[in-house]
Amino acid sequence: MPDSSRTSSEDTAAVNALRSGVMRLSRRLKHQRVDESLSPTEMSVLGTLARCGSATPGELARKEHVQPPSMTRIVALLEAKGLVRLEPHPEDRRQKVVRQTEQAEAMLEESRRKRNAWLAELAGKLDEDEWATLRAAAPVLEKLAHL
């Protein structure tokens, strides 16, 4: 589907099925949480810190596509729960850097383990051809998620 101006009905159906399947699977994965007290946004911020390392609240707001005042509130909630700490910025004393704590790392690891186990159980219900197709599609889905 390189040229979106010439979308065939097959391409349209495939895009629709992909969107629908990804959305449903995402909703189901969100229910496989370790800590129900965290909002999906709070989990997303912790995931971003795990992937990208420490960041200022402004950088986190851009990465998470939220307004800076919202990120300030989210960071304060995560700090109160002991999942992040604020440290002085190494170059700009006016700013703070948000770092995840060991408690957050452990919670994220347990969450990944639980979600992976759930997804592996689902994948175990696929036949060999379906599983091979899914394995081949995984890098493409990962690429789409980061475009």
Report domain extents, the chain.
33-117
Q: Domain 33-117 has what CATH class?
A: mainly alpha
| pLDDT tens for each residue of 18-61 | 999 999 998 888 888 777 788 888 989 999 999 999 999 999 99
The rounded mean pLDDT for the chain is 90
- What percent of the chain is modeled with pLDDT above 70? 95
Low-confidence ranges of the chain (pLDDT < 50): none
Which amino acid is it at 83?
Answer: L
- The pLDDT value recorded for residue 64 is 94
- The pLDDT value recorded for residue 2 is 56
Q: pTM of the prediction?
A: 0.74
99: which residues sit within 8 A by CB, 6+ positions away? 49, 54, 84, 85, 86, 87
Dihedral sign from CA coordinates of 77, 80, 83, 88: positive
- The pLDDT value recorded for residue 39 is 87
Provide the 10 A C-beta neighbour count for residue 9. Answer: 7
42: its two tokens: 């709070």
Tokens 């989990």 correspond to 43
CA neighbor of 30 nearest in space, from 40, 19, 17, 20 = 40
- Report the SS3 class of residue 64: helix
CA angle at 78 for the pair 74 and 84, rounded to the nearest 5°: 120
- The pLDDT value recorded for residue 37 is 81
| Nearest-angstrom CA–CA distance, 76 and 84 | 9
